[in-house]
Amino acid sequence: MLAACPSIRLMRDPTRGGVSSTLNELAAASQVGVSLDEASIPVRPEVHAACEMLGLDPMYVANEGKLIVVVPETDCQTLLRVMKQHPLGKNAAVIGKVVSEHPAMVVMRTRIGGQRVVTMLAGEQLPRIC
């Protein structure tokens, strides 16, 4: 990844606190906004089903073995192509972008076209089983 895209700005594992906390930490530390597209976020069907059954939001669930990467928009497709060539990156996707609007906040466009603020994980995290 670094060879294909030396301009990578951030690489984070969203295990603790899930995607929501990882992106909120980025937004707060850099004073930028993050805009997400819910439909672009890959969630495996079994994870979606378990979250539905337990009343959980996948954005707040620990994501073992996942990676969040921030790159300049001009390098995005190059890095995505490289990631998809690796077996562990076959489900890589562009899920959003860094924006100047709503600094220090993460806002997600929902599947039905609305918007919601994605906050930091509050309360106790779902216990890890592994």
pLDDT digits 0-9 by tens, 57-115: 999 888 888 999 999 999 999 999 999 999 999 999 999 999 999 999 999 999 999 99
Are β-strands 106-109 and 33-37 bridged in parallel, bridged antiparallel, or unpaired?
parallel
Total residue length of the chain: 130
Residues 6+ apart with CB under 8 A from 90: 84
Whether the pLDDT of residue 9 is over 90: the answer is yes
Q: For 52-90, what is the HEC assignment?
A: HHHCCCHHHCCCCCCCEEECCHHHHHHHHHHHHCCHHHC
Q: Which band of pLDDT confidence, cut at 50, 70 and 90, is reported for residue 118?
A: very high
Query: Which CA distances in Å does 11 have to 67, 73, 116?
Result: 7, 15, 25
Sign of CA dihedral 108, 16, 28, 91: negative
Whether the pLDDT of residue 124 is over 70: the answer is no
Please give the Cα distance from 78 to 110 (Å, whole number). Answer: 27
Whether the pLDDT of residue 127 is over 60: the answer is no
* H or E segment to which residue 18 belongs: helix 18-30
Residue ranges per domain, the chain? 10-118
CATH 3.90.650.10 for domain 10-118: yes
- Residue 126 sits at the vertex; the CA angle it makes with 122 and 129, to the nearest 5 degrees, is 155
